[in-house]
Amino acid sequence: MRTEKKQQLAQLRRWRVRKKISGTKERPRMSVCFTNQNIHVQFIDDAAGRTLAATSTGSKSIPDREKLAANVKSAKAVGAFAAKAALDQGIKQVVFDRGGARYHGKVKALAEAAREAGLKF
């Protein structure tokens, strides 16, 4: 399959997921982005168009960030740290945006770690 076609299909998957969910101030959207090297998590209020809290594997506030990569072990650590950052901002409930990725592996590990840390999906 050509690269352009793969990118187009991935964009259609992202749009299909995003049209069904939206974040508010009381229940923001927890957007997850996985690159080849990093994991990024944002808590977004779509009504106001603002990011309420964010964290990633490159954040300076995460301990041992040099050892983190885009794998399942790091996803668990980032999920727990993202939940802590959200709870510090007063966010208890979120809408999970997996960004077109399957709910499997890294995505599932991050979501479960955030749930265990106290976030409600």
The C-alpha torsion from 15 through 16 and 17 to 18, rounded to 10°, is 40
Segment 38-56, tens digit of pLDDT: 999 999 999 999 999 999 9
Angle of helix 72-88 relative to helix 106-116, nearest 10 degrees, comes to 40
Q: Which domains does the chain have, with CATH numbers?
A: 3-116 (3.30.420.100)
- pLDDT confidence tier of residue 107, bands split at 50, 70 and 90: very high
pLDDT greater than 90 at residue 64: no
Strands 39-45 and 50-56 come out as antiparallel
C-alpha to C-alpha distance for 63 and 96, rounded to whole angstroms:
25
pLDDT greater than 90 at residue 68: no
Segment 73-87, tens digit of pLDDT: 999 999 999 999 999
pTM for this predicted structure = 0.87
